[in-house]
Amino acid sequence: MTSAVSLQQVSRHFGPIRAMDAVDLEIAPGEFFAMLGPSGSGKTTCLRVIAGFEQPTAGHIEIFGETAEGVPPYRRNVNTVFQDYALFPHLNVLDNVAYSLMLRKVDKAERHRQAEDALAMVKLSGYGARRPGQLSGGQRQRVALARAIVNRPKVLLLDEPLGALDLKLRESMQEELKSLQRSLGITFIFVTHDQGEALSMADRVAVFSDGKVMQVGTPEEIYNRPNSRFVADFVGSSNLLPPDFTATITGQRAWASLRPEAIHITPSDGAAMQGRVTARSFMGSTVRLGLYVNGASLHAVVPASGNSANVDDMVGVLFAPEALHLMERET
């Protein structure tokens, strides 16, 4: 099956800056794909290359099997929801949403009807006559979304669309985006630097660092089996264990990750591995403990009930060797 978007060794350099460096990605049709990475890691550049605002310095791009290099943005059936919405201030909400239909010379009544439908889809019926300036941030975000989906693009690119929203609105928008994507069946490519958002929403996630893709996989793979220190560190709350520590348990010298939930606390007497509690914070049903074990700092998340370990107590530390995930990459 042809990929919705296929990047083959795509690079985009700005002088000495390698904003994208030999990126390979295959994004399947209908997939909800997230690009995750710290600030400046090249996520926006990658989206702009797919949208056609930037031309790659090297490499090959296909969109639904068709070569995209040299094709201007207006000939790509790919729409973008911009981070700062980019709504047209001189048009009202309805005309903003109907913009792409207007360009295609759809007649006025028909395009307004379709725009109303799109507004209804983002729960903004009745806001058509307003100017973008008269809307809240969350409402503008929905208008931008309605404008991008009104003509049913093949691929929708979203650049941190929820970045400016407060937590509650953000969570409800996450669900709405997800269900919208399911009902439309459009391929979504979603940029975020919030790992929780990426892991909870996406079918697959690509983790970016310094213009390179470090790992691509399902949220479970990324979370449970990070292939590098960078991914383990960025994606999550996993413990990172240095090669010296790993060697004492597995005999193999490699960086490893260990999920905090996999660690059990036992009484210190007779335990094979002992550690000192360095921090303790109550999280409701669980307790998060900082531990110092054999020269490594770990943290564990354990059930709150029956755990009375206090800071500076010595405890036994227990985990199954299989829970230790060895990473194939050096960094």
Partner 1 sequence: MIVLDTGAILPRRGGIFGALSDAFWRHPKLLVFLMLTPPVLWFGIIYLGSLLALLLQSFYSLDEFSGLVVPEFTLSTYAQLFRPSNFDIIVRTVLMAAAVTLASGIVAFPIAYMAARYAKGKWKALFYLGVMLPLWSSYLVKVYAWKLILAKEGILNWVFESLRLTPLLDAFLSIPVIGGNSLSVSYTGTFLVFLYIWLPYMILPTQAALERVPVNLIDASGDLGATPFQTFWHVIFPLALPGLVAGSIFTFSLTLGDYIIPNIVGSSRQIIGQAVYAQQGSAGNIPLAAAFTVVPIVIMGLYLWMAKRLGAFDAL
Ligand X SMILES: Nc1ncnc2c1ncn2[C@@H]1O[C@H](COP(=O)(O)OP(=O)(O)OP(=O)(O)O)[C@@H](O)[C@H]1O
Residues that bind ligand X (CB under 6 A): 14, 17, 19, 37, 39-45, 193
When the beta carbons of 152 and 253 are compared against partner 1, the nearer one is 152
Q: How far is the CB of 71 from partner 1 (least distance, A)?
A: 12
Burial zone of 184 (CB within 10 Å; 0-12 exposed, 13-18 middle, 19+ buried)? middle
Q: How far is the CB of 44 from partner 1 (least distance, A)?
A: 11
Burial zone of 29 (CB within 10 Å; 0-12 exposed, 13-18 middle, 19+ buried)? middle
Pick what 219 binds: ligand X, Mg ion, partner 1, none; C-beta below 5 to 8 Å, kind-dependent.
none
When the beta carbons of 54 and 116 are compared against partner 1, the nearer one is 54
Burial zone of 198 (CB within 10 Å; 0-12 exposed, 13-18 middle, 19+ buried)? buried
Pick what 282 binds: partner 1, Mg ion, ligand X, none; C-beta below 5 to 8 Å, kind-dependent.
none
Pick what 88 binds: ligand X, partner 1, Mg ion, none; C-beta below 5 to 8 Å, kind-dependent.
partner 1
Pick what 72 binds: partner 1, ligand X, Mg ion, none; C-beta below 5 to 8 Å, kind-dependent.
partner 1
When the beta carbons of 190 and 245 are compared against Mg ion, the nearer one is 190
Place of tokens 């985006």: 177
Contact 36, 158 (CB under 8 A): no
Buried b / exposed e along 229-254 (16+ C-beta atoms within 10 A): bbbbebbbebbbbeeebbeebeeeeb
End-to-end CA distance of the chain: 34
Pick what 165 binds: partner 1, ligand X, Mg ion, none; C-beta below 5 to 8 Å, kind-dependent.
none
Burial zone of 320 (CB within 10 Å; 0-12 exposed, 13-18 middle, 19+ buried)? exposed
Q: Is 215 helix (H, G, I), strand (E, B) or coil?
A: strand
Report the sign of the C-alpha dihedral through residues 317, 319, 325, 326, in that order.
Answer: positive
DSSP state, residue 251: S
Pick what 90 binds: Mg ion, partner 1, ligand X, none; C-beta below 5 to 8 Å, kind-dependent.
partner 1
Q: How far is the CB of 48 from ligand X (least distance, A)?
A: 8
Q: How far is the CB of 135 from partner 1 (least distance, A)?
A: 16
Sole binder of Mg ion in the list 44, 79, 195, 246 (CB under 5 A): 44
Pick what 279 binds: partner 1, ligand X, Mg ion, none; C-beta below 5 to 8 Å, kind-dependent.
none
When the beta carbons of 92 and 307 are compared against partner 1, the nearer one is 92
Q: How far is the CB of 32 from ligand X (least distance, A)?
A: 19
Q: What is the DSSP string of 18-49?
A: EEEEEEEEEE-TT-EEEEE--TTSSHHHHHHH
Q: Which residues bind partner 1 (CB under 8 A)?
A: 51-53, 72-74, 78-80, 82, 84, 86-90, 99-100, 102-104, 147-148, 151
* Cβ count within 10 A of residue 141: 27
When the beta carbons of 83 and 209 are compared against partner 1, the nearer one is 83
Q: Which stretch binds Mg ion (CB under 5 A): 42-50, 68-76, 87-95, 287-295?
A: 42-50
For residue 127, the one-letter residue type is Y
Q: How far is the CB of 40 from ligand X (least distance, A)?
A: 4
Pick what 74 binds: Mg ion, ligand X, partner 1, none; C-beta below 5 to 8 Å, kind-dependent.
partner 1
